Structure 1
Amino acid sequence: MNPKRRVSGTSVYFEYMLYRLNKSAGLVDYDMLEKTANLFRPKLIIAVASAYPRDFDYPRMRKGGPHNRTIGGLVVCLKYAQTPEFKAYQNQEYDLMW
């Protein structure tokens, strides 16, 4: 973000804070992240990196792990797809297409 305009569309709605690496270890500086988060008080911390060749310490970030929401959503959908109600709905939709 700069003084005149927002850098991305999401920055219109959300404030973000970057975290840094510990340069000597090459790892996320979790101690500094914790200190900064205590000052900033975010409601959510999203751990994202496109060029970080290591996994995050999810328990330390209290975030649950990668793709938990996606996996949970798939589990619910696949369980629902096994029900007779869904199969009847699917057959009804198929019949409407043809």
Structure 2
Amino acid sequence: MGPGKTRFDGVVDVGILVLSHCENPAKNEALDFLEKVLTMERPSLIPMTAFLGAYHIMTRYLGIKEEEAAEELYKTASLDLEIFFQDITVDLIEEALTLAPEFDIE
């Protein structure tokens, strides 16, 4: 790695985001893992598109209310950390999570 570069050990995908943002038996473990990622104790990238995937799973398959899922996921997505892989912008995530419940998009 060159100077000033951060080394990442992995990529956090939809599953961890879903488990850490809704009530389930594995929530505490998922939150512990996500906390380690967010504090760089376990440096890993989180693609911004994973938040949209998590929203889809939470609303369509787990029956979580759209507004609740959007609000919970946006709280994390809006942290603006270097671990977020900006395959799409935070503003676009916010817009998508705001419009999805309004237009009943899963």
TM above 0.5, one fold? no
Which structure would you say has the larger Rg?
1
TM, length-normalised to structure 2: 0.31
Using CA pairs under 8 Å that are at least 6 residues apart, name the structure with larger relative contact order, 1 or 2.
2
TM, length-normalised to structure 1: 0.32
